[in-house]
Chain A
Amino acid sequence: MNLIRTGKAGTLESSDVMITVRNNPANDIEIKLKSIVEKQFGNHIRSFVTSLLEQMDVHSVIVDIDDRSALDCVIRARLETALYRAAGIKVFRWEEME
């Protein structure tokens, strides 16, 4: 997946997460996490997001996460939305997403 612009999705409301993704000049995966449940779930969120990125074939990205205690499925949905917006993809391949 090629990120052509900044992608942003989600909100700062309770149980949601705001995720911003953009291309990384250093060609690496960089995750900046701010979470209200950092202590309990910080590590889990980081590794969860990393594995999602790998599944989605994204290797060069800076991910800014402002987490308000979102469930994994919400983090996943917001990350997917942000990445698709960043890649400018309007046609989704749902069969690959299950």
Chain B
Amino acid sequence: MKLRRTMLYVPGNNPNMVKDAHIYRSDAVMFDLEDSVAVQEKDAARFLIFRALTCIDYENTETVVRINGLNTPFGEDDVRAMVRARPDIIRLPKTETPEDIEAVDALIGAVEKEAGIEEGSIRLFAAIENARGVVNAYRIAVSSPRLVGIAFGAEDFVTNLNTQRSKEGMELFTARQEILMASRAAGLHAIDTVFSDVNDDEGFRREVTLIKNMGFDGKSVINPRQVSIVHELYTPTIEQINSARKILRAIEEAEKEGSGVAAVDGKMIDKPIVERARRTLELAQVSGIYLDEIDEEVPNAE
């Protein structure tokens, strides 16, 4: 089960940051060819990420490249170069319609074919950053088998809405919900927007807690410090871990007995509950919790 708790933004024209991006242990790194690169440096960034991806071993970190939109002078070259560099994911900014995804999907497919790469091996992420994209979220979410997730970009979104970001985030509520619904309905990941005040730890924690409780799979981050905070907040509690273990044990037993139905504490366990339990334990493991060491007899171990 792929984890995308954190996607660390790395400016695409900065070799020092690009070469070490994986040392901060985020689940994914996103090399940016778009907003963080000046127009006159688009070519330089493209070459740099092309060469970096083909030469540097990013180990277990998922590699993502945010290309320029296909409606810019840079987007097509970005795709032609990046597909050949084989990142795990290409992220399309400012996605508004399913046709946007279809267009980039087709281009990626064409280049995969030219380059002799297995078709479909490069995945897609759609970034939704304005009202039109939000309104089209579900249709976008089901527009391509390459799509594995949707990311929300609040900065452009609030500008589009003629407002500003606030602490409570009320202005983002609908957008977040829509993206979440669409992603879940289509079986995709949902990633929340960046939090740009790197000095406001408390505010950041509040926002991460909020979006985690809403159901987001993770968050875009712009600073390594933010990575560990998100991972900490996404760590399951002892309670959750114990509960998950109970569920998985019940499933095992039901299978052993050949019975089709399992139950815990009188409640039937169906597929979504099992998946959530599996995810919880995987999160626990990746958070460095040694499951064997947890004492199950202590339900409220916090």
- Per the bound structure, the CA–CA distance linking A81 and B12 in Å amounts to 14
Question: How many residues in A have their beta carbons less than 8 Å from beta carbons of B?
Answer: 23
8 contacts across the A-B interface (CB closer than 8 A):
A71-B15, A73-B55, A74-B15, A84-B43, A92-B81, A95-B84, A97-B81, A98-B54
With an 8 Å Cβ cutoff, the count of chain B residues facing the other chain is 20
Complex partner residue of A77 from B16, B47, B84, CB under 8 angstroms: B47
Give the CA-CA distance A14 to B55 in the complex, in Å: 19
**Interface presence of A13 (CB below 8 A):** yes
Q: Find B51's partner among A13, A73, A95 (CB 8 Å cutoff).
A: A73
- Given known contacts A74-B52, A77-B47, A78-B44, A95 and B19 CB-to-CB distance under 8 angstroms: no
A interface with B by C-beta (< 8 Å): 9-10, 13-16, 70-74, 76-78, 80-81, 84-85, 92, 94-95, 97-98
- Inside 8 A of A80's CB, which chain B residues have their CB? 47, 51
Residues of B participating in the A interface, judged by any CB pair closer than 8 Å? 14-16, 19, 43-44, 47-48, 50-52, 54-56, 77, 80-81, 84, 114-115
> Is the beta-carbon distance between B15 and A70 smaller than 8 angstroms?
yes
Q: Which residue from chain A places its CB closest to the CB of B80 in the assembled complex?
A: A94
- CB distance A77 to B48 under 8 Å? yes
**Per a CB cutoff under 8 Å, which of B16, B44, B80 touches A81?**
B44
In the complex, what residues of A have CB within 8 A of residue B50's CB? 77, 94, 97
Chain B residues touching A, majority SS: helix
Of B14, B15, B80, chain A has the most CB atoms within 10 Å of the CB of B15
Contacts of B14 in A (CB 8 A): 13, 16
Neighbour of A16 across the interface among B15, B43, B114, CB < 8 A: B15
Q: Which of A70, A85, A97 has the most CB of B within 10 A?
A: A97
Cβ contact within 8 Å between A92 and B77: yes
Are A14 and B51 in contact, CB atoms less than 8 angstroms apart? Answer: no
CB pair B51 A10 closer than 8 Å: no
In this complex, the member of B19, B44, B80 whose beta carbon has the largest number of chain A beta carbons within 10 angstroms is B44
B19 touching A74 by the CB < 8 A rule? yes
With a cutoff of 8 Å between Cβ atoms, the chain A residues found around residue B84 in the complex are 94-95, 97-98
Residue of B nearest to A74 (CB): B15
In angstroms, Cα B41 to Cα A85, docked, is 11
Bound: A9/B43 CA distance, A: 10
- Tell me if A71 and B81 are in contact (CB < 8 A): no
Which residue of the partner chain A has the closest CB to B79? Answer: A94
Contacts of B52 in A (CB 8 A): 73-74, 77
Instruction: For A78, list chain B residues within 8 Å (CB).
Output: 44, 47-48
Of listed B14, B50, B77, residue having the most chain A CB within 10 A? B50
